[in-house]
Amino acid sequence: MPTATASADRRPEAPRDPALLRRLLRAKDRMDAASHEDWPVHRLAQVSAVSDAHFARSFKDAFGVPPHRYLLTRRIERASALLRDTDLSITEIAFQTGWKSLGTFGRTFRDVTGQSPGMVRAHMRAEANGLDRVPGCYLSAAQRPDLTIAVLEKQRREGTRINPLHQQEVQ
């Protein structure tokens, strides 16, 4: 039952149709599998077999974050794994994880994690310990940023600079 507070926030009821949720999960899986690719709403909506107009809202209701913010967390997660596990340069990592420019990558990474890619690489290597017993994908997921607010909002609260590229984020 939606509470009075929930209605006041205009938070819609989460979708409950398992068939729809299963299709939305497919869009999430596809982003997981290829987070470096471009995922415009139309492409995601097609994967889920829902209309473009309903996709972003349905996805957010199902998974708690807008689709493109979810994609951002996966890219940061993957970049973090590459920083930890490979000797690829930060530029190579930026392009491999789907960013169009090194500057955007560095800024976004810092905005989300609070640290520069170089600092994260140094810290992760210093802390490596016994994680080789956890299957790789779960290990990687443990380092996914928990981005419960928009990057813009995070920047606003922390008083950091606004990155205009994020204004395209789908709500």
Partner 1 sequence: MNQGVQTAGLYVRDQDEALAFYVEKLGFRVHTDVRNGDYRWLTVQHPEQPSFQLGLFRPGPPMLDAATAQTLQAVVAKGAMPPLVLSVRDCRAAFEQMRARGVEFIQEPVERHGAVDASFRDPSGNGWKMIGPA
Nearer to partner 1, 30 or 54 (CB): 30
| Least Å from the CB of residue 107 to partner 1 | 29
Nearer to partner 1, 77 or 111 (CB): 77
Contacts of 137 (CB under 8 A, 6+ apart): none
Q: CA end-to-end span of the chain, whole Å?
A: 24
Where b means 16+ CB within 10 Å and e means fewer, 105-116 reads bbbbbbbbbeee
| Least Å from the CB of residue 156 to partner 1 | 30
DSSP 41: H
Spatial contact of 59 and 66, defined as CB atoms under 8 Å apart: yes
| Least Å from the CB of residue 33 to partner 1 | 6
Residues engaged in binding partner 1 (CB under 8 A): 14-16, 18-19, 21-22, 24-26, 28-30, 32-33, 62-63, 85, 132, 135-138
| Least Å from the CB of residue 21 to partner 1 | 4
Nearer to partner 1, 32 or 169 (CB): 32
As given in the structure block, the two tokens for residue 146 are: 């928990």
Nearer to partner 1, 88 or 102 (CB): 88
| Least Å from the CB of residue 158 to partner 1 | 30
As given in the structure block, the two tokens for residue 32 are: 């997981």
Q: How far apart are CA 35 and CA 53, in angstroms?
A: 22
Spatial contact of 59 and 27, defined as CB atoms under 8 Å apart: yes
Nearer to partner 1, 23 or 154 (CB): 23
